[in-house]
Structure 1
Amino acid sequence: MKKIRIGSGAGYAGDRLEPALELMEHGNLNYICFEGLAERTIALAQKAKKANPEKGYNDLLLYRMEKVLPLAHKNKIKVITNMGAANPKKAMEEVAKLATTLGLKNLKVAAVLGDDISNKIQEYANETVIETGKPLSETNKDMFSANAYLGCEGIVEALSNKADIIITGRVADPSLFLAPMLYEFGWEKTNWEKMGKGTMIGHLLECAGQVTGGYFADPGIKEVPNLWNLGFPLVEVNEAGEGFITKLNHTGGMVTTATCTEQLLYEIHDPENYITPDCTADFSKVTFKELQKDIIEFSGASGKSATPTYKVSVGYLNGFIGEGQISYGGPNCIARAILAKEIVEKRLENLPFVISELRCDLIGINSLFDTGEMPKEINEVRLRVAGKTNTKEQAQFIANEVETLYTNGPYGGGATKKADEIISIASILVPKEDFEINVLYKTT
């Protein structure tokens, strides 16, 4: 029975590169997938593209590809990534140019387009926002991005056209890994059981080091060996959708039934009806079995028909946040920090504009778990003041007031300040028939 091996090269936009290179060198892979997008990541990429049409793809794309391309070429590994973000076409062109500079011939680079509907988002103003239950129009904010979570369709097309490096925009995380299975095994898109199996495999791999012990670790409760050298996962799967997940032997971390179970449940709303662009996956009967140390067999995933819509993440400007911090150390530091907090609160009350969601936290004292009681024998504490405003200039006032504590409050130091815009996300559902998926190619 035919088998393929798929590795995970990244679990988020700024992930480590070394574990991916280790997998490519020693994992006997056929494919490696780099997942690099989240809701705000794609919105920020759209802003970067609007500022400079040559940008909008992952900032680390070319840094990664400089090391990844030679290994992919040497070991005949196909690379799939959504690090094209808001500009997969330009990303494709730059990666092809880099491959030529590296002397890598006959590499076919593809770009999958079609997720971006930013230019017609107003057509969907009456659609219901999933998070609020209200029409999108009621956000009453500056909407600047709208990207659908596409499925594996465009990637499968690129693989069918012999692409070696496939760069997408907003494609759903598990779809990156599902696509090679559809292509290699000839699965029908309506074989919902196999689509569910492949989606489950993609979900295990999509966060890279999380399933090998990252995020799982909890000292004294769930010990993970050599986290400093955490290895990334790979899956060996056959055409029936059966297989196992593992990691390289010489790397840190671990793959166990527990790490797999935690990752399986990560960020899913309903294990029996996990809606993805490709299918409605059913993880409710999934089981994991240890075959050997760090080799875990999976079984029991299934699926149902896909929904007729894509989830679309709409990015909008939602005001500004002003933040200032300052530290207090030594005897009576908590009392001084509380006094400083009271000073800032009084000063902010007199400003001629509204500050919403104002927080004044003693970091390490009450910002995570506020028991209502102050601990004893604390030698240092840091005051953090943050609030939301309508303009950046207003936000700067909050930050400035904290800095003025240097000479206008109890003795402390190490003040920092900043004022940033707030990018928020609204999610809506848009009919799949409204999207046109296109694949572009460039050969070195």
Structure 2
Amino acid sequence: MKRLLPMQVQMGELESCEIKLRDNPQRRKEKVFIGCGAGFGGDRPLAALKLLYRVEKLDYLVLECLAERTLADRYQIMMSGGAGFDPRVTEWMTLLLPVSVEKGVCIITNMGAMDPFGAQKAILDVANSLALDIIVSVVKEIPLSKSGTSGPDEESSIKKGGVSTYLGAAPIVQCLEKYEPHVIVTSRVADAALFLGPMVYELGWNWNDFEQLAQGCLAGHLLECGCQLTGGYFMHPGDEYRNLSFERLLDLSLPYAEIRFDGGICLAKADGSGGALDSSTCTEQLLYEVGDPSAYITPDVVINIRDVFFSPLSNDKILCIGAKPSDIPVPEKLLQLFPKGCGWKGWGEISYGGYGCVKRAEAAIFL
């Protein structure tokens, strides 16, 4: 059984996390509200701040800012003497912490990248400058030496050659149980698991509650890319089904979800906001980065999304129904990324073609 290590260093503690069934998990809430404050490394913190202000019931705000490319970038920068974490964490926390602490919203973010302990220190420095007394927990995989020991510093990432395992939700749950932190900063955690962790903790789920875990992972998968769910890709002049006006895109809301203890999901955007949240935008995100829809693999559960459907409640809310565990509901192994001292550099660009392509390209530059 793989051992993962969540840590909270402010108190000098180091805790191992063994993935096993939870002992008598307690249901703390009937439903939990989780928002997505960022869907990629270049997202803008003002949008997350707007979500905090416009949605009264948020319990958690997830900042998903890490991908394979950004993780590799941080490793290269760290090897060259720079920061192994996302340096924008200071900008984000300066803006968000005063509001999140006041409203009791816990922030969970993977901006720790290769050095979440460095990110933790940066967050605590921000809190100190704002006269805020907070707890910041860290989730990170640390390789153990032959003696079974390791230290909480970025050297562990260097010693293991930059290898990163896609961790699941278990260490996040343990951080919440043990420390009740204001912020959890992680290394590489599967995107959906960032959202699943607080669901498991608040709703009293266990690791063999596969029906609920499947719905929870589905909610995380739909939320993880932020405004992709709420119409960010739906400005297509001439397409009657995907032709959001420029004005509606200017007031695009990040998404959030209400998740019930029985696995019921209601996806939402801020009341009266722009963008779009409907069956089309949800289906587009549902299929994003999915290989086999009958076996979408996450570290916590393998899910079948073939029968998922969406039922609109209003312009701002939609029910999400039908995820279930796959025939083999637990993955056999976890995915690892590791850098190699060879390869190629790539160059990418985004092109626009077809009807209205110039108008769409100009809008993309402005947005």
Query: Per the shorter chain, which TM-score range?
Result: 0.7 to 0.9
Cross-structure match for 2:361: none
C-alpha distance in structure 1 between counterparts of 2:256 and 2:345, whole Å: 40
Q: Given residue 13 of structure 1, which amino acid in structure 2 is its aligned partner?
A: G
Aligned to 1:245: 267
1:147 has 2:164 as partner: yes
Distance in 2 between the 1:174 and 1:322 partners? Answer: 27
Cα gap change, 1:321 to 1:249, in 2 (>3 Å): same
Superposition pairs of residues 25-40 of structure 1, within 5 angstroms:
25-28=53-56, 29-40=58-69
TM superposition shift of 1:100: 1.2
Quick one: structure 1 residues 3 and 150, their matched pair in 2 at CA, closer, same or farther if it must change by over 3 Å?
Answer: same
Match of 2:334 in 1: 310
Work out the number of aligned pairs and report it.
304
Q: Is the 8 A contact 1:118 1:145 kept in 2?
A: no
2:243 paired with 1:223: yes
In structure 1, C-alpha distance between the alignment counterparts of 2:339 and 2:346, rounded to whole Å: 20
Query: Counterpart of 1:30 in structure 2: which amino acid?
Result: D
2:138 — aligned with what? Answer: 111
Q: Give the equivalent residue in structure 2 for 1:139.
A: none
Q: Does structure 1 conserve the Cα–Cα contact (< 8 Å) formed by 2:215 and 2:265?
A: no
Separation in 1, partners of 2:43, 2:260: 28
Partners of 1:17 and 1:210 lie apart in 2 by 16
Query: Within 1, Cα distance between the matches of 2:65 and 2:190?
Result: 10
Which amino acid in structure 1 is aligned with residue 235 of structure 2? A
Separation in 2 of the partners of 1:230 and 1:6?
18
Q: Which amino acid aligns with 2:167?
A: L
The 8 Å contact of residues 89 and 122 in structure 2, kept in 1 or not, is answered as no
SS at match of 1:79: strand
Amino acid at match of 2:96: V
Map 1:198-347 onto structure 2 (within 5 A): 198-221=216-239, 222-225=242-245, 226-304=248-326, 305-319=329-343
The Cα shift of 1:321 comes to 5.1
1:243-264 CA-to-partner distances (Å, cap 9, x unmatched) read 3111112432110011001101
Superposed, which structure 2 residues align to 1:157-176 within 5 Å?
Answer: 157-161=174-178, 162-176=180-194
Asked whether the 8 Å contact 1:14–1:60 carries over to 2, the reply is no
The DSSP-based 3-state class of the residue aligned with 1:245 is strand
Do 2:312 and 2:319's aligned partners in 1 also have CA atoms closer than 8 Å? yes
Which runs of 5 or more structure 2 residues have no equivalent in the other structure? 1-28, 147-159, 354-367
Task: Calculate the aligned-residue CA RMSD, in Å.
Answer: 2.5
- Measured in 2, the distance between the counterparts of 1:306 and 1:258 equals 30
Aligned AA (2:233): Y
Following the alignment from structure 2 to structure 1, what is the Cα–Cα distance between the partners of residues 296 and 269?
26
Quick one: distance in 2 between partners of 1:12 and 1:118? Answer: 31
Structure 1 CA distance, aligned partners of 2:281 and 2:257? 14
Instruction: Encode CA deviations 1:129-175: one digit per residue, 9 max, x unaligned.
Output: xxxxxxxxxxxxxx953211100111111111211200000000000
CA contact (8 A) 2:216 2:259 kept: no
Would you say the 8 A contact 1:208–1:233 is kept in 2? Answer: yes
Instruction: Output the CA distance in 1 between the equivalents of 2:312 and 2:324.
Output: 21
The amino acid of 1:112's aligned partner reads: V
In 2, distance between residues paired with 1:322 and 1:247?
36
Native 8 Å contact 1:47 1:144 kept in 2: no
The answer to whether the aligner puts 1:45 opposite 2:74 as a matched pair is yes
TM-score scaled by length of structure 1 = 0.65
* TM-score of the aligned structures, taking structure 2 as reference length: 0.78
| Structure 1 unmatched runs, 5+ | 121-142, 324-358, 370-444
Which structure's CA Rg is the greater one?
1
2: distance between equivalents of 1:153 and 1:283? 23
**More strand per residue:** 1
In the aligned structure 2, how far is the partner of 1:251 from the partner of 1:5? 18
Residues 204-226 of structure 1, C-alpha deviations (whole Å, 9 max, x = no match): 10000000001243222111242
Amino acid at match of 1:223: N
